[in-house]
Amino acid sequence: MNKFVKWLGMMLIVLNSALSQAQEVIDRVAVIVNDGVVLESEIEQMLTQVKANAAAQKLALPADSVLRVQAIDRLVLRELQLQLARRIGVEVSDAQLQQTLVTMAREGGASLDQMRSDIEASGISWEAYRETIRNEIITAEVQRGAVQRRVYISPQEIENLTKIIEQMAEQETEYRLGHILVATPEGASAEQLQSARNNAELLLERLRNGADFAQAAITSSSGSSALEGGDLGWMNINAMPTLFAEVVRGKERNTLVGPLRSGVGFHILKVLDTRGVEKVEIVEYQARHILITPSIILSDARAKEMLEQFRQQILAGEADFADLAREHSADPGSAQQGGSLGWSDPEVFTPVFRDAIKSTPIGELSQPFKTEFGWHLVEVSDSRLQDTTKASNQNRAYQMLFSRKYQEELENWQQEIRDQAYIEQVEL
């Protein structure tokens, strides 16, 4: 597929392009939409482009009469949304439009000039294409503003879908288990059971202290896999005994579990390995900062100089970071906490601040640096690897629910603005 089709596909341009300025036809009003109109030339242009796109993708199309109804419906809806945008003042500047076009070209693997050449080679004027993209951006913004506030997702919905996501992931997770059985005779007495339990607990303690699991299984296990070092092979939760599944679920590699009592004795398990586990981890940092914001009475240079002095005082033991933050920091959220940002994912911060936290060694002070908020001095006190799989699944659930409900509400809203509008097709 050539680049032109990619441009059309990315932005649905094939269904929304305006009439080429180079087209020389006598136009007429096809549909009256409130105080605006849809022109016959717009309908014809859309039909032409739909057919061209279908041909490029080798798609079959219905009769022209059916296509015309669809084209009119889409153009009427676009006109209604643009009218609403004008009423509420939604605009897209030339600079914003240019940036969008540059991004589209880059995603298509070409330069903006190459993209323009492809568009013009297809018979569409560049100016018409630009204005179509501008209208797409505007209508998307109007849709977001109107529809987002109509979408409500309850915490219970998120929790329910999160559980389903976790269950699906669990079905794909496999565990390679090591197994040791300290057997008990059938009809064992309380004394025999206690003796077996004591032996199992002593064996588990040795394993926790570094004893080789495979060797212990060969010498001490009564299980069927003893001669294989207790290796039960790979299995998912559904394939293993219920007793094992209940305690193994969610465990990490090298985890020891037990002793577990069953009718045949006491079991010790080791998670030798896992595969298919979707685990999300991030590095969090414990940091604090002092923010000095330049103003009319405090120059940029003076703000930086203040932080340089603070840094020297802290390093010399002449001042305390927390005291300086409480007294001087312009960040109200952290100043009263001595500048503390708590444990944070650096990705939530502005890029310059994020990079400063990541690059500052633990226990040291950064050099003063500037962001759009002012000048900062940062101290990083610790870092940790945090499992955010649960939060990631919850966010995934929210996005799935939002996407579904947004589409439903978008269709409802679009039908509402159609119902409230004056729409009249003008007969030939």
Whether the bond into 346 is cis, omega within 30 of 0: no
CA–CA dist 37, 423 (Å, integer):
9
The region of weakest confidence among 51-55, 259-263, 316-320 is 51-55
| DSSP letters for 388-413 | -HHHHHHHHHHHHHHHHHHHHHHHHH
Does the pLDDT value for residue 341 go beyond 80? yes
Cα–Cα distances (Å) from 396 to 160, 165, 276, 391, 403, in that order, read 12, 9, 18, 8, 11
Its CATH architecture, for the domain 177-275, is Roll (3.10)
**Section 172-196 average pLDDT:** 90
Taking a C-beta distance cutoff of 8 angstroms, is the pair 327, 291 a contact?
Answer: no
Burial of residue 424, with CB atoms counted within 10 A of its CB: 0-12 exposed, 13-18 middle, 19 or more buried: exposed
pLDDT-derived band at 15 (thresholds 50, 70, 90) equals very low
**Section 399-407 average pLDDT:** 90
Say if 177-275 and 281-387 have the same CATH topology. Answer: yes
Burial of residue 115, with CB atoms counted within 10 A of its CB: 0-12 exposed, 13-18 middle, 19 or more buried: buried
pLDDT-derived band at 18 (thresholds 50, 70, 90) equals very low
Cβ atoms < 10 Å from Cβ of 295: 12
Which residue in the block uniquely carries the two structure tokens 């919905």?
A: 157
**Section 298-305 average pLDDT:** 93
The per-residue pLDDT for 63 is 87
CA torsion angle 193 194 196 202 (round to 10): 160
**Section 166-195 average pLDDT:** 87
Burial code (b: 16+ CB inside 10 Å, e: under 16) for 311-333 equals beebeeeebebbebbbebbbbee
Helices 3-11 & 112-121, crossing angle to 10 degrees?
100
Domain ranges of the chain: 3-150, 177-275, 281-387
Question: Could you tell me how many residues make up the chain?
Answer: 428
The per-residue pLDDT for 320 is 95
Fold of 281-387: Chitinase A; domain 3 (3.10.50)
Fold of 3-150: Triger factor/SurA peptide-binding fold (1.10.4030)
For residue 177, list its beta bridge partners: 233, 271
Phi and psi angles of residue 380, each rounded to the nearest 5 degrees, phi first: -105, 120
H helix count then E strand count, the chain: 15, 12
CA–CA dist 45, 125 (Å, integer):
12
The pTM score is 0.58
pLDDT-derived band at 26 (thresholds 50, 70, 90) equals low
Taking a C-beta distance cutoff of 8 angstroms, is the pair 2, 114 a contact?
Answer: no
Among 85, 188, 78, 204, smallest CA distance to 145 is for 85
pLDDT-derived band at 212 (thresholds 50, 70, 90) equals very high
**Section 384-410 average pLDDT:** 89
pLDDT-derived band at 428 (thresholds 50, 70, 90) equals low
For residue 288, list its beta bridge partners: 340, 379
**Of all helices (H) and strands (E), which one includes residue 55?**
helix 40-56
Which residue in the block uniquely carries the two structure tokens 């419906």?
A: 73
**Of all helices (H) and strands (E), which one includes residue 284?**
strand 281-292
